[in-house]
């Protein structure tokens, strides 16, 4: 006997795909802006990065998302500035 009730899974997966597209676009935009900040810091005689700023970002992500947030923040930061 087949069910006539449609599964919500396809619609939910479509929504996940849309969220993923948004995350990717934001990731790319953030990396671009972060790269510009690093170039501006160097052009004005500063260092490429600010460790205090990076620590604040890591702490914010960890506070909001837990341990996985800290790992995510590290990946995001690396995408913008490159590997240390």
Q: How far apart are CA 73 and CA 57, in angstroms?
A: 7
Domain contains 7: no
**Is the residue at 65 inside a domain?**
yes
The structure's pTM equals 0.81
Cβ distance 62 to 69 under 8 Å? yes
69 inside domain: yes
Instruction: For residue 59, give Cα distances in angstroms to 19, 34, 63, 72, 73.
Output: 24, 18, 6, 11, 9
43 located within any domain? yes
Q: What's the pLDDT tens digit per position in 3-18?
A: 678 899 999 999 999 9
Q: Is 30 a member of any domain? A: yes
- Is 29 a member of any domain? yes
- pLDDT of the residue at 69: 98
Strand, helix or coil for residue 35:
helix
CA 44 → CA 23, 41, 50, 56, distances in Å?
31, 5, 14, 22
Q: What is the CATH number of the domain that holds 38?
A: 1.20.59.10
In the chain, how many domains are there? 1
Q: Which residues of the chain have pLDDT under 50?
A: none
| 2 in a structural domain | no
Domain range for 71 is 15-81
The DSSP secondary-structure symbol of 6 reads: P
Would residue 70 count as lying in a domain? Answer: yes
């Amino acid at each position: 006997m087949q069910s006539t009730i449609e599964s919500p899974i396809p619609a939910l997966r479509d929504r996940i795909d849309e969220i993923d597209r948004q995350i990717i676009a934001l990731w790319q935009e953030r990396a671009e802006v972060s790269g510009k900040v690093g170039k501006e810091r160097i052009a004005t005689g500063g260092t490429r990065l600010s460790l205090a700023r990076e620590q604040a970002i890591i702490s914010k992500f960890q506070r909001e998302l837990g341990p996985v947030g800290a790992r995510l923040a590290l990946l995001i930061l690396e995408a913008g500035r490159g590997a240390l």
